Structure 1
Amino acid sequence: MNEPHCRTPGTALVVSRPRQLMRAVLLGALASGAGIALLGTAAWLLSRAAERPPILYLMVAIVAVRAFGIGKGVLRYTERLDSHDLALRLQTVLRLDTWRALTQSTWVGRHGGDLLSRLVNDVEAIQDLVVRVIVPVASAGLVAVATTTVITLLSPGAGLLLAVSVALAGVVMPWLAARLAARSIASLAPLRGELATVAAEASDAAPDLVAYGATDAVVARLAAVDTRLRRAEQRAAWASGLAGFGQTLAAGVAVLGGLLVGAVQVFAGVLSPVNLAVVVLTPLALHEVLATLPAAALAWHRSHSALGRVGEVLTAPTVGSPDNLSVVATDTSEVPPSIEIADLSAGWPGSAPAVVGLDLTVQAGEKAALVGPSGTGKTTVAATLLGLLPPVAGTAQARGRLGYLAQDAYLFDTTVAENVRIGRRDAGDTDIAKALARARVSMPLDRLVGIHGTQVSGGEARRIALARLLLGNADVLILDEPTEHLDAPTAAALVDDLWATTTDSGAAVLVITHDPTLAARCDRVVSLPNPPVSGTNAGLNQLPAHDTPPLAG
């Protein structure tokens, strides 16, 4: 069955499967109703048995008690199966939609820990929305109406008191809990994202932090975020506890009020003494159902906050959308490969442009180096060419089959061959071996590289990533620090092979580098200033290779 795909998370996605949702609500109401009927029938049975009637007078009630007892468990189990099945299906749909949106949006520049929190923890909020909010609230509402109606038929006064207690326990207390904890709950998802970001950064930089003795500062930062998160959770728990206390009082009012009103009616001969037990004890079972509503109110706010963060990813501008039409990638069957950048201003969302007024053209067979101190926007230019960022102003066009060697190219926890095969999924072992040879990699194809490439050296990881790029037969290459982590002889040999390959294929090559030796081997060098000069090309010097300026390390 094809699942619905929704660009707006939350209730709209839930109601995309109305039949299953209604079935889960109905099963939940029947399960809760069976529990209430069980207590009410048992109360009648005990009261009637105290009058010592013939046993046959009690057989229907005895059978009903057994039926309600068994039915409660069966119906609750069935409801849980149905509601969790719905929740997990919707969670899968939302996670896939979020992943697709993430891979096509400008969110690539955000902190990885926060993105992971949105993709995993925040998407799971759709499950809470179904299982802990919509199903229990809807089923509790149906049961409350039905139970109040039955008690009103037995004793109008007790029914009125029960209706008041239901309003207090089922409406006022959940609203109060949500109101008191609204600010704390709204901060939970962002705080978890911040905690995940700090933890991920600390994990990635752990060796360097230990080497430089900077662990205390990171641990203190982690502790500070954790403290804020714990306090927010404590405030939410306090509000939930206060609502629970109010619900207990409401239940007590319903029981004691029912006892007083029912006793008066019994003395007046209006109410049967046997039914008095039903009037008094049934509200206890109903309030047990209503006890879940404050938690449901808090879960609603938690889900709303978390799914709002997911919605930010889903509604972000996507690569190739009308907003990003200045980024173009075309086939080179008729048009030679090239890179054309005109008056480009580029930057990450929420930040000032890192590059302003950049002009650069790389034709087929040419090699240009983009240099400058760290933080001047070299990688930002690459991301804009790849379509991962919309230009702030100007145009950035890459015509051809794009290939990108990232500075932090990811290696998966699998074999060398599988990591290289990502560049072309239909490649055989012979093609992979040739690509590895061109990248100066000498290791077995079945060697495991470990998580993040931890089982290979930095230079080997760099060359495996380069082999992946070479396997893809791209004719527009963007190389971000291709010789990083390599010793000078290996780097020189690698560049020799790379240059020979790209010259033969007529590829357009843009090299981002801090290496003056590599920059000197390019046809042209473009130096980015720091900081950029707004509205002008001042400082964007296109120099011949032999005039390469000093480069920051």
Structure 2
Amino acid sequence: MTDLSTRPEVTAGTTDPLRLLTSRPRQLVRAVLLGSLASGAGVALIGTAAWLLSRAAEQPPVMYLMVAIVGVRAFGIGKGVLRYVERLDSHDLALRLQAGLRLDTWRALTRSTWVGRRSGDLLSRVVNDVEAVQDLVVRVVVPFASAGLVAAATTIVITVLSPGSGLLLAVSVVLAGVLLPWLTTRVAARSVGTLAPLRGELADVAAEANDAAPDLVAYGATDAVLARITDVDRRLRRAEQRAAWATGVAGFGQVLASGVAVLGGLLVGAVQVFAGVLPPVQLAVLVLTPLALHEVLSTLPAAALAWRRSRVALERVREVLTAPTVGSPDRLASSADGAGDGEPGIAITGLSAGWPDRGPAVVGLDLHFAAGEKVALVGPSGVGKTTVAATALGLLPPLAGRVVVTGRVGYLAQDAYLFDTTVGENVRIGRRDARDTEIAEALLRARVAMPVDRLVGVHGTAVSGGEARRIALARLVVGDANVLILDEPTEHLDAPTATALIDDLWASAEASRAAVLVITHDPVLAARCDRVVTLPTL
């Protein structure tokens, strides 16, 4: 017996950026240190080269320049090697976090109430939005942390050489490393915040157009769908352009901040040289070192936008991870005694049910049926018949009331989905460990005259509608289900095919004394059931 109101909740991972990053602290710290060393080597390279050129202009003995020469070579080689190692380490961390988060997201998706959502948007969340954790490591944390360490160290060194130049450099660092990234995110916040949802919407529209392409062409409705795709694409492109514009303006600000640091260092250093308090060879160090430092800081506005994008994308992933688990207690408003252990059946008591974010479609439903009974659930379209079936199957949690299912549940969907594989593999969905002989027997009982290894084509295009329904029926047979939920089993079938299919369903149900719930608009099919329950319109 399965009580859908008390099933355990999914144990999901976290999408909080800080908790994600601190899940592997040693590797994160190592990546930041390697990034700092790589960026620091670049700044040290320019500073050492500036001193070397200035000192060489004085034509001293070459031995006086050997340390600087070796330093330039070491910093030049070290910059490339350290950056390569940092990329390996940071990408390894990012990919590990991404793989773990994607697994958590998939597990949560399979056990949550995200049925009824648009498949394109869900795919975008699982694929594109999960990848935001990679940007979080590679394009946000490592650049910001390493730039901060290098900027602090460089400012201290310049301040020791020239306090005035150090003060100007500190001001330019605050402008380029703090103020400009903050302003960039403020200006582009709205645009960046819409990128992930718009990509999800575009994936939805494209997926719908792809699935319905033959019908759209047949009815001459392609122009409307293409116009819709174009509209979403235009809005997405505008959002990306606004974000790119903000990044471009920030780049201009970076150039100005760099210019302030360079010119300020030149003026202050020149005054100190004329005053005799600064060796002339150090003037080039004061001028060129800030230029190298601002090259490191120039990536921070883009990193700030990446942070904003990552937060929005990870919030969309969090919605999947924290979606209510099927039948979770937090959605249970009341309960009543249901069917106990024993014969198969379904006991629905005081049920209120609905799809996520849409409110209740069914309120106060009482429905009990047991082994050997065939109950038809009828009512106008949109009244909530499929909602009741989804709740009974455990795909939706009850908003109120209780659903207790006793026995093995089998479901015949309104549009039986066939995967692009063999008939046997499609039937094996009903029971994973089914042997080929058992599958062949199930096909025989469902009156499917096909070999087990026959391919059904993409979405079942190589078989007819009636054959697809019978393959789905074979899934029920091979699974030994004794509680059957049939959603519009005769829809789109001609009368002889529909009659034959129901005859086989009834024969299978009677052989196993199954409890059967039939959702239908077909009065002929409803008349063949033991009872008819009509759902009222809310």
Task: Report the TM-score, using the length of structure 1 for normalisation.
Answer: 0.91
Q: 2:266 aligns with which of 250, 253, 259?
A: 259
Which stretch has the larger CA shift, 224-233 or 163-172? 224-233
- The answer to whether the Cα contact below 8 Å between 1:344 and 1:392 also exists between their aligned partners in 2 is yes
1:3-402 residue pairs with structure 2 within 5 A? 6-324=13-331, 334-402=341-409
1:214 aligned partner, one-letter code: A
How far apart are 1:372 and its partner, in Å?
Answer: 2.4
How far apart are 1:495 and its partner, in Å?
Answer: 2.1
Structure 2: where are the runs of 5+ without partners? Answer: 1-10
Between Structure 1 and Structure 2, how many residues are aligned?
A: 527
How far apart are 1:450 and its partner, in Å?
Answer: 2.8
2:482 aligned partner, one-letter code: D
Counterpart-to-counterpart distance in 1, 2:355 and 2:118: 12
Q: 1:520 aligns with which of 512, 516, 527?
A: 527
Q: 1:461 aligns with which of 458, 465, 468?
A: 468
**Helix, strand or coil at the partner of 1:109:** coil
How far apart are 1:348 and its partner, in Å?
Answer: 1.1
How far apart are 1:353 and its partner, in Å?
Answer: 2.0
Counterpart-to-counterpart distance in 2, 1:328 and 1:294: 58
Relative to structure 1, is the Cα distance of residues 422 and 323 closer, same or farther in structure 2, using a 3 angstrom cutoff? same
Counterpart-to-counterpart distance in 2, 1:441 and 1:259: 87
Relative to structure 1, is the Cα distance of residues 337 and 458 closer, same or farther in structure 2, using a 3 angstrom cutoff? same
- The answer to whether the Cα contact below 8 Å between 2:351 and 2:363 also exists between their aligned partners in 1 is yes
1:442 aligned partner, one-letter code: A
Encode CA deviations 1:164-193: one digit per residue, 9 max, x unaligned.
000000001000100001111111111111
Relative to structure 1, is the Cα distance of residues 496 and 74 closer, same or farther in structure 2, using a 3 angstrom cutoff? same
Which stretch has the larger CA shift, 471-480 or 171-180? 471-480
How far apart are 1:440 and its partner, in Å?
Answer: 2.1
2:478 aligns with 471
Counterpart-to-counterpart distance in 2, 1:36 and 1:409: 63
2:436 aligns with 429
How far apart are 1:5 and its partner, in Å?
Answer: 6.5
Could you tell me the percent identity over the aligned residues?
Answer: 78
Relative to structure 1, is the Cα distance of residues 93 and 5 closer, same or farther in structure 2, using a 3 angstrom cutoff? farther
How far apart are 1:10 and its partner, in Å?
Answer: 2.4
How far apart are 1:56 and its partner, in Å?
Answer: 2.1
How far apart are 1:471 and its partner, in Å?
Answer: 1.3
- The answer to whether the Cα contact below 8 Å between 1:5 and 1:93 also exists between their aligned partners in 2 is no
Counterpart-to-counterpart distance in 2, 1:293 and 1:440: 66
Relative to structure 1, is the Cα distance of residues 233 and 268 closer, same or farther in structure 2, using a 3 angstrom cutoff? same
How far apart are 1:327 and its partner, in Å?
Answer: 9.4
How far apart are 1:330 and its partner, in Å?
Answer: 11
2:66 aligned partner, one-letter code: M
**Helix, strand or coil at the partner of 1:348:** coil
- The answer to whether the Cα contact below 8 Å between 1:29 and 1:142 also exists between their aligned partners in 2 is yes
Counterpart-to-counterpart distance in 1, 2:361 and 2:13: 34
Counterpart-to-counterpart distance in 1, 2:165 and 2:383: 75
How far apart are 1:331 and its partner, in Å?
Answer: 11
Encode CA deviations 1:230-268: one digit per residue, 9 max, x unaligned.
111111111111111111000001011111111111111
2:5 aligns with none
Task: Report the TM-score, using the length of structure 2 for normalisation.
Answer: 0.94
Counterpart-to-counterpart distance in 1, 2:457 and 2:143: 45
Considering Cα pairs closer than 8 Å and 6+ residues apart, tell me whether 1 or 2 has the greater RCO: 2
Q: 1:452 aligns with which of 450, 454, 459?
A: 459
Encode CA deviations 1:253-292: one digit per residue, 9 max, x unaligned.
1011111111111111211111111111011111011001
How far apart are 1:328 and its partner, in Å?
Answer: 11
- The answer to whether the Cα contact below 8 Å between 1:411 and 1:461 also exists between their aligned partners in 2 is yes
**Helix, strand or coil at the partner of 1:422:** helix
Relative to structure 1, is the Cα distance of residues 327 and 36 closer, same or farther in structure 2, using a 3 angstrom cutoff? farther
Which stretch has the larger CA shift, 105-114 or 144-153? 105-114
Relative to structure 1, is the Cα distance of residues 330 and 527 closer, same or farther in structure 2, using a 3 angstrom cutoff? closer
Counterpart-to-counterpart distance in 2, 1:12 and 1:498: 52
1:408 aligns with 415
Encode CA deviations 1:25-84: one digit per residue, 9 max, x unaligned.
011001101111111111111111111222222222222111111111111111111111
How far apart are 1:218 and its partner, in Å?
Answer: 1.6
Relative to structure 1, is the Cα distance of residues 281 and 134 closer, same or farther in structure 2, using a 3 angstrom cutoff? same
**Helix, strand or coil at the partner of 2:452:** coil
Counterpart-to-counterpart distance in 2, 1:403 and 1:281: 74
How far apart are 1:504 and its partner, in Å?
Answer: 1.9
1:209 aligned partner, one-letter code: L
Counterpart-to-counterpart distance in 1, 2:17 and 2:159: 37
Counterpart-to-counterpart distance in 1, 2:248 and 2:117: 37
How far apart are 1:139 and its partner, in Å?
Answer: 0.7
Counterpart-to-counterpart distance in 2, 1:117 and 1:414: 25
1:539 aligns with none
Relative to structure 1, is the Cα distance of residues 408 and 143 closer, same or farther in structure 2, using a 3 angstrom cutoff? farther
How far apart are 1:11 and its partner, in Å?
Answer: 2.2
How far apart are 1:227 and its partner, in Å?
Answer: 1.5
Relative to structure 1, is the Cα distance of residues 5 and 356 closer, same or farther in structure 2, using a 3 angstrom cutoff? closer
**Helix, strand or coil at the partner of 2:309:** helix
- The answer to whether the Cα contact below 8 Å between 1:170 and 1:290 also exists between their aligned partners in 2 is yes
How far apart are 1:109 and its partner, in Å?
Answer: 1.5
1:541 aligns with none
Which stretch has the larger CA shift, 298-307 or 335-344? 335-344
**Helix, strand or coil at the partner of 1:339:** strand
Counterpart-to-counterpart distance in 1, 2:94 and 2:389: 40
Counterpart-to-counterpart distance in 1, 2:169 and 2:379: 75
**Helix, strand or coil at the partner of 1:525:** strand
Encode CA deviations 1:194-234: one digit per residue, 9 max, x unaligned.
11112212222222222222222222222222121111111
- The answer to whether the Cα contact below 8 Å between 2:338 and 2:347 also exists between their aligned partners in 1 is no
2:322 aligned partner, one-letter code: T
2:167 aligned partner, one-letter code: L
Which stretch has the larger CA shift, 387-396 or 470-479? 387-396
Q: 2:489 aligns with which of 479, 482, 485?
A: 482
How far apart are 1:324 and its partner, in Å?
Answer: 4.8
- The answer to whether the Cα contact below 8 Å between 2:327 and 2:398 also exists between their aligned partners in 1 is no
Counterpart-to-counterpart distance in 2, 1:248 and 1:273: 26
Counterpart-to-counterpart distance in 2, 1:488 and 1:328: 41
